[in-house]
A and B are shown apart, each in its own frame.
Chain A
């Protein structure tokens, strides 16, 4: 038991080759993005929405887990909270990625055309909510809520590294209690605004929670991936063991099952009722090749990681964790693609347009992480729960 050893926290820079890879991906991604916007702004715009909602998932999901740890008084995750705090920084690229979408708004969102709305009863009745001014105001509100809480959490946590002041934990707990309901509402509306309104006639009350679960699952997968890679390379404290890994595995497993539950419920209710105003959305995703994408999502987002993680020993194996996390990250990209692209094209398309934003997103995640890891401790050394978290056993 390491109860008496003091925690040795390495404060090293990440390996140069990882940082280089991050920069390389970012630059390649940026070049591809510019190229896509120059050649086909509409297609680039749809892909922009994919990259944007993906990064928003990781960023907001990370802030969610920070808040969750505080409010649940979770102990095992304390040593890894800093990873989440670094990932929350992605809120900045999220805002940047929204700009080109706003610039091409009319090519992407059908309901922004006044003449279309004027001749469409359904869109008319939705227009008090779905109009450009209110849309923009809402986006600003979401970003303000998310970043306000994120930066206060982060500020308190980083300050605690120096003064080990327990009051900071208390403050964050109170903030977390206020944040979680706000987050639940804002992320649901966010997904309705940016994803569901691509098909403005369609509606599903399950959609908000669908995106919400996908988001926190993805944020957790990214965190798990970072934690496993970093600890394999010796960047975490010494005592990281299967108890910690098991907790990651169990949480991933639970969340991916919950995602499947939500995804299936959304599908089944629409399939069963078979109402034309709802079912066309799924029909479009079940023809002209989209059916393969749909099946791929079911496999990658659920069945494959489900069987990889179902047994207790496999939840403790870093390799399995890393692989299933990588699959889940890819699956979330595919999920966003599946939500967005049928609006653009009747059958699936794949070219450098579709690669630009995933490459850019991955690059940005690595670069932002590395930049912060250089500056701050990888472990919240001042947190009162840290030692208990390190000694955690199942």
Chain B
């Protein structure tokens, strides 16, 4: 097959020589030439007369997209899609978004830079190049420095080029390539190749499984999970009745727990009058009540007890707490409702302590007063 001249190359031994050679070639007016070195050499860009790279703009654009995207996403989630009061802060608490914004900006900048570098600047997927597998390439990827002037340069003239490179002190050599190079197509999606890859994947995983599980007999890493103890909700072989979870001894009372005398079915308004609110509506108890109300009640009853929370429509709608009924209820009736629940509203006696429940009652009273303010309240 006919061989064509690709370029005239020259090999140099020292970094300073290659810088000088690059300058000579540049000054002689050649445009299509490249320099190859085993490691980056300071000052080579300038010597070759390379233009400032545009890659920085890709980095900048990717960083801006990342930062803007992340801050809007975080804001949307925290303000629009799933507003939640966290630590008593406003929904749009931007300092909390700064770390993610910064990190996503860096991440996108890096990915964008590497991606653009490979796709545009390295001309991916160009996997064949006339210089590949030449003695020249072997030298410059080990310990030598090379310059290569392409034959398709406008002012290329083999004799002159050879002389120029020689005068700069290099070992000159020509690189040829065959036509095949131009027509070569990488066969990435060849079915045989795909089958081969699948075969390798299968063989390695099956081999790994057989070796570790059947030959070495290594148990899977589950020591944490498989502890010699009875887990909740599991059978016990020790106890005759087979229950892993045991009931407390009859008459046991948890610390700080006072048994609640009224049953689930008891009517709120009838037992309510037997329960006396032990808390005064001071600022401390109201603050406590507000906090607990926001935590436990507002998800259903809404921030102001109107029954208009974001759960509205997804759960049986709770009635307003400003009805005449609830307003005229004794404190104890509300307390009873929280304690044992009412129809679909569950009991909260295990989540909310007695004191906190009374504080919530006080807070609901303030909400009711605020919604039905009397003339005298306004003075």
The interface of chain A, by Cβ under 8 A from chain B, is: 264, 267-268, 271-272, 274, 311-313, 392-394
Q: How far is the CA of A46 from the CA of B266 in the complex (A)?
A: 69
Q: Does B344 contact A (CB under 8 A)?
A: no
Q: Does B96 contact A (CB under 8 A)?
A: yes
Q: How far is the CA of A227 from the CA of B87 in the complex (A)?
A: 50
Q: Does B56 contact A (CB under 8 A)?
A: yes
Residues of B with C-beta under 8 A to A312: 52, 56
Q: How far is the CA of A392 from the CA of B95 in the complex (A)?
A: 42
Q: How far is the CA of A264 from the CA of B88 in the complex (A)?
A: 21
Whether A272 and B87, one on each chain, are in contact in the complex, defined by CB atoms closer than 8 angstroms, is yes
Whether A272 and B56, one on each chain, are in contact in the complex, defined by CB atoms closer than 8 angstroms, is no
Q: How far is the CA of A272 from the CA of B88 in the complex (A)?
A: 10
Residues of B with C-beta under 8 A to A272: 87, 95-96
Whether A394 and B87, one on each chain, are in contact in the complex, defined by CB atoms closer than 8 angstroms, is no
Q: Does B98 contact A (CB under 8 A)?
A: yes
Whether B95 and A393, one on each chain, are in contact in the complex, defined by CB atoms closer than 8 angstroms, is no
Nearest Cβ distance between residue B100 and chain A, in whole angstroms?
Answer: 12
Whether A274 and B52, one on each chain, are in contact in the complex, defined by CB atoms closer than 8 angstroms, is no
Contact of A394 among B42, B95, B99 (CB under 8 A): B42
Residues of A with C-beta under 8 A to B52: 312-313
Closest residue of chain A to B19 (Cβ to Cβ) is A1
* A392 in contact with B42 given A268-B98, A271-B95 (CB within 8 Å): yes
Residues of A with C-beta under 8 A to B45: 394
Chain B stretch 30-61: residues in CB contact (< 8 A) with chain A:
42-43, 45-46, 52, 56
Nearest Cβ distance between residue B41 and chain A, in whole angstroms?
Answer: 9
Most buried by A among B42, B56, B96: B42
Whether B42 and A268, one on each chain, are in contact in the complex, defined by CB atoms closer than 8 angstroms, is no
Whether B43 and A274, one on each chain, are in contact in the complex, defined by CB atoms closer than 8 angstroms, is no
Closest residue of chain B to A274 (Cβ to Cβ) is B87
Whether B43 and A393, one on each chain, are in contact in the complex, defined by CB atoms closer than 8 angstroms, is yes
**Contacts between the two chains (Cβ within 8 Å), count:** 25
* A394 in contact with B43 given A274-B87, A274-B88 (CB within 8 Å): yes
Nearest Cβ distance between residue B206 and chain A, in whole angstroms?
Answer: 48
Nearest Cβ distance between residue A385 and chain B, in whole angstroms?
Answer: 14
Contact of B42 among A264, A274, A313, A393 (CB under 8 A): A393
Residues of B with C-beta under 8 A to A264: 95, 98
Q: How far is the CA of A267 from the CA of B98 in the complex (A)?
A: 12
Whether B95 and A268, one on each chain, are in contact in the complex, defined by CB atoms closer than 8 angstroms, is yes
Residues of B with C-beta under 8 A to A313: 52
Nearest Cβ distance between residue A303 and chain B, in whole angstroms?
Answer: 13
Q: How far is the CA of A297 from the CA of B87 in the complex (A)?
A: 27
Q: How far is the CA of A393 from the CA of B47 in the complex (A)?
A: 11
Q: A268-B95, A268-B99 are in contact. List 4 more A-B contacts (CB 8 A).
A: A272-B95, A274-B89, A393-B42, A394-B43
Q: How far is the CA of A263 from the CA of B210 in the complex (A)?
A: 54
Residues of B with C-beta under 8 A to A267: 95
Residues of A with C-beta under 8 A to B98: 264, 268
Q: How far is the CA of A90 from the CA of B52 in the complex (A)?
A: 41
Q: How far is the CA of A268 from the CA of B56 in the complex (A)?
A: 30
The 7 closest A-B pairs by CB, nearest first: A393-B43, A393-B42, A268-B95, A271-B95, A394-B42, A274-B87, A312-B56
Q: How far is the CA of A269 from the CA of B46 in the complex (A)?
A: 46
Q: How far is the CA of A312 from the CA of B52 in the complex (A)?
A: 10
Closest residue of chain A to B57 (Cβ to Cβ) is A311
Contact with A along B211-225 (1 / 0, CB 8 A): 000000000000000
Nearest Cβ distance between residue B62 and chain A, in whole angstroms?
Answer: 15
Q: How far is the CA of A274 from the CA of B86 in the complex (A)?
A: 12
* A393 in contact with B96 given A272-B87, A274-B88, A312-B52 (CB within 8 Å): no
Q: How far is the CA of A394 from the CA of B53 in the complex (A)?
A: 14
Contact with A along B299-330 (1 / 0, CB 8 A): 00000000000000000000000000000000
Residues of A with C-beta under 8 A to B43: 393-394
Contact with A along B73-107 (1 / 0, CB 8 A): 00000000000000111000001101100000000
Nearest Cβ distance between residue A307 and chain B, in whole angstroms?
Answer: 12
Residues of A with C-beta under 8 A to B95: 264, 267-268, 271-272
Q: How far is the CA of A313 from the CA of B51 in the complex (A)?
A: 13
- CB pairs A–B below 8 angstroms (25 shown): A264-B95, A264-B98, A267-B95, A268-B95, A268-B96, A268-B98, A268-B99, A271-B95, A272-B87, A272-B95, A272-B96, A274-B87, A274-B88, A274-B89, A311-B56, A312-B52, A312-B56, A313-B52, A392-B42, A393-B42, A393-B43, A393-B46, A394-B42, A394-B43, A394-B45
Closest residue of chain A to B46 (Cβ to Cβ) is A393
Nearest Cβ distance between residue B107 and chain A, in whole angstroms?
Answer: 16
Nearest Cβ distance between residue B114 and chain A, in whole angstroms?
Answer: 19
Q: How far is the CA of A267 from the CA of B42 in the complex (A)?
A: 40
Residues of A with C-beta under 8 A to B99: 268
Q: How far is the CA of A271 from the CA of B96 in the complex (A)?
A: 9
Q: How far is the CA of A274 from the CA of B95 in the complex (A)?
A: 13
Closest residue of chain A to B45 (Cβ to Cβ) is A394
Residues of A with C-beta under 8 A to B56: 311-312
Q: How far is the CA of A311 from the CA of B54 in the complex (A)?
A: 12
Closest residue of chain B to A393 (Cβ to Cβ) is B43
Nearest Cβ distance between residue B63 and chain A, in whole angstroms?
Answer: 10
Residues of B with C-beta under 8 A to A271: 95
Residues of B with C-beta under 8 A to A393: 42-43, 46
Q: How far is the CA of A141 from the CA of B55 in the complex (A)?
A: 50
Nearest Cβ distance between residue A393 and chain B, in whole angstroms?
Answer: 3
Q: How far is the CA of A393 from the CA of B95 in the complex (A)?
A: 40
Chain B stretch 276-299: residues in CB contact (< 8 A) with chain A:
none
Q: How far is the CA of A290 from the CA of B99 in the complex (A)?
A: 25
Q: How far is the CA of A274 from the CA of B98 in the complex (A)?
A: 17
Q: How far is the CA of A268 from the CA of B94 in the complex (A)?
A: 10
Q: How far is the CA of A312 from the CA of B59 in the complex (A)?
A: 13
